[in-house]
Chain A
């Protein structure tokens, strides 16, 4: 997946034949961004995922 630096701007006006991003640096940028997102998310994730998921019980609706 693309890193944020490739997709920060709106893509509307991007020509269809835009060059493919260079794979290796893009992958590194991507990993760095996802890793920092994950670090933020670690702080809010439910500590006991299993019991949280088990407790998420809904009635069927429309």
Chain B
């Protein structure tokens, strides 16, 4: 699993600043302070396929909105509803794990479009410019606690990038925000990715994920000042993203955004896995909120995988289909008392908390007594948070982000007699997610001990530079750190090495996310002084 975060970006006092240029400045500044010396590694687009649909077809390139064409570095995907449609055929690779393949070394140095700035970090993450925002895509991790750790590392990367820009003479001031809306109509995403067994039919995934995703907002929402896409009505709602959800299932991510996104770009062996790409979630600063979001969702996905051999585990969930899921997203997001009843397709009316309890019960029943400690912690907290939310949402102010934010806003409203349309409340909502500890309101709450944390700041520091040890991110990050000047390009499922004594580039596929771990390749990498030796040893198999 992993989390992609598009950061809001501002040059204070200059709202008209070009966000793509500003974002490139941020990414390049981070590269200059964090990357090992040498030519920066490019992104390897060979296996990217953003137009493949999980329902079993490919969108025609000419029919796609240009903002969906994210696999062509010579034409960065634009943000608005206009732009040219480039014509590029996607390549296909069939090599097996860690078996080097050969690629031509370009005679002429490829052109680096500064607007397509991308950095592959030594922790296995990608930090780049996506749709006029700096985006941090975390390395692949195996559990929700590690997801929190490398998500926090992403905030630290964003902070260091801001510091790097602001400390460079002649560079503009810049601030990054980990949120999802600007209050004027624009939204930018925080996407979760989960590796899911390809054997689970997509229809089963969509059917059972929709009621879960619609109702999980009660503990995953980051809170938002303003109602409607442009915040045209005054008020507070639970989710940043809710007003931008316009379809149940679909391929798009920049318009007509769906509850379940069907992009079928597994970045892995397509015959074995799909990558579930969830775009409905909010960026969360609270560690417990991020942990529960990833933890509960991966447990539901485990249940769906389990149902392939034990269909009866889904029986308790069969009748939970919502009558109008897209409308229910808004209903839940506006229901601060958490008492609104959602109409189900079978005519029943349940609250969001009751729907969540059905999922919790189904997971608990399917797991039985044999539960590891990490899973037990997620289950216990899931139950405890639902119980306390039902009793009084305020009881979750240390764990659930919208509750923590609302508590502060209500305090301000009470103290200074403000109506919801007062600009100070909107400013607090934005400043909540400022990545700078001296300005961000979330950081002030941490400093005051008012929210619960799960990971140690020293751990986060290490995660900024070190990859997780138990996924292929270990191989990617370690190769980028050790053989920086010999890494030509890299991607989620490949590393391309440029070994001077070899006539062609060497492309090492990473089609299996579970290979390339420290236990798998740690000794090998420790023993190789340079990329040439690595290629020789891999070639010998």
Contact = CB atoms under 8 A, between A and B. Distances in A.
A25 interface: no
Nearest to B225: A53
A59 B185 CA distance: 9
A58 B391 CA distance: 38
A60 B394 contact: no
Contact of A46 (B133, B187, B407, B431): B431
A2 to B, nearest CB: 5
Contact of B187 (A4, A13, A50, A61): A61
Contacts of B8: 56, 58
Interface in B182-239: 182-189, 191
**Interface residue range, chain A:** 35 or more
A58 B430 contact: no
Given A1-B394, A12-B381, A44-B444, A62 B188 contact: yes
Interface in A28-59: 30-31, 33-38, 40-41, 44-46, 49-50, 52-59
A47 to B, nearest CB: 10
A27 to B, nearest CB: 10
Given A50-B423, A58-B9, A61-B132, A7 B191 contact: no
A48 B189 CA distance: 28
Contact of A53 (B131, B183, B410): B183
A56 to B, nearest CB: 5
A60 B188 contact: yes
Contacts of A41: 408, 428, 441, 444
A31 to B, nearest CB: 8
A2 B397 contact: yes
Interface string B420-458: 001110111011000000110100110111101000000
Given A2-B394, A56-B183, A34 B430 contact: no
B246 interface: no
A51 B132 CA distance: 22
B395 interface: yes
Interface stretch (B12-20, B36-44, B143-151, B522-530): B12-20
B319 interface: no
Contact of A59 (B19, B177, B387): B19
B411 A37 contact: yes
A45 B431 contact: yes
B103 interface: no
Contacts of A49: 422-424, 426-427
Interface string A8-26: 0011111010001000000
Given A2-B394, A2-B397, A37-B411, A12 B254 contact: no
Contacts of A1: 392-395, 397, 403, 407
B417 interface: no
B79 A53 contact: no
A61 to B, nearest CB: 3
B423 A40 contact: no
A40 B444 contact: yes
B408 A38 contact: yes
B498 interface: no
Given A1-B397, A38-B411, A62-B131, A56 B254 contact: no
A40 B133 CA distance: 30
B253 A40 contact: no
A10 B15 CA distance: 43
A37 B133 contact: no
Given A52-B430, A61-B131, A61-B188, A16 B387 contact: yes
A53 B426 contact: yes
A16 B439 CA distance: 38
B412 interface: yes
B503 interface: no
Contacts of B385: 11
A22 B441 CA distance: 29
A55 to B, nearest CB: 4
A16 B106 CA distance: 65
Contacts of A14: 384
Interface in B1-25: 6, 8-10, 12-13, 15, 19
Interface string B375-403: 00100110011011001111101100001
28 contacts: A1-B393, A2-B395, A4-B449, A7-B397, A11-B388, A12-B384, A16-B387, A35-B411, A37-B411, A37-B445, A38-B415, A41-B428, A41-B441, A44-B439, A44-B444, A45-B424, A46-B431, A55-B12, A56-B177, A56-B430, A57-B182, A58-B182, A59-B131, A59-B133, A60-B80, A60-B186, A61-B79, A61-B186
Interface of A: 1-2, 4, 6-7, 10-14, 16, 20, 30-31, 33-38, 40-41, 44-46, 49-50, 52-62
Interface of B: 6, 8-10, 12-13, 15, 19, 67, 79-80, 130-133, 177, 181-189, 191, 253-254, 279, 377, 380-381, 384-385, 387-388, 391-395, 397-398, 403, 407-408, 410-412, 415, 422-424, 426-428, 430-431, 438-439, 441, 444-445, 447-450, 452
Given A1-B407, A61-B187, 11 more contacts: A10-B452, A34-B410, A35-B415, A37-B411, A37-B444, A38-B408, A44-B438, A53-B427, A58-B184, A62-B188, A62-B253
